[in-house]
Amino acid sequence: MLAHVLVNKFGDHQSLYRQPEIYARESVEIPRPTSVGWVGALLHPLVEALRQHVMAGGKPHMDETPVAILMSGNGSSSAGRIWTYVRDDRPAGSQDPPAA
């Protein structure tokens, strides 16, 4: 079930808020907070390892990307930001892999 939730989310781009509706048609009740918790718990070790790798480079680069955030219920949007930390030391001769 965990693999199915992850494949639906990341492989098939099915948002977590839609998945409970789909499972309910098959009489499988999975509350949205449960699936969100599963994804967070399963990805936490990967996110932490990636964070450590990026920050270990000593000179992380940062990128700020503005995004529109849809406001629930009223159809309007608000301005949001995504911050990405990047490590790429290849131009300085490093063999360490780049990461974001």
Whether 51 is covered by a domain: the verdict is yes
Whether 16 is covered by a domain: the verdict is yes
Whether 49 is covered by a domain: the verdict is yes
Whether 96 is covered by a domain: the verdict is no
Is residue 72 pLDDT above 80, yes or no?
no
Domain count, the chain: 1
Q: What is the pLDDT of residue 37?
A: 94
The pLDDT tens digits for 49-67 are: 999 999 998 788 999 999 9
Q: Which domain holds residue 58?
A: 2-90
63 touches 86 (CB < 8 A): yes
Whether 65 is covered by a domain: the verdict is yes
Q: What is the pLDDT of residue 76?
A: 85
Whole-prediction pTM: 0.66
- What is the rounded average pLDDT for all residues in the chain? 90
Whether 74 is covered by a domain: the verdict is yes
Whether 100 is covered by a domain: the verdict is no
Whether 95 is covered by a domain: the verdict is no
CA atoms lying within 13 Å on the CB side of residue 35: 23
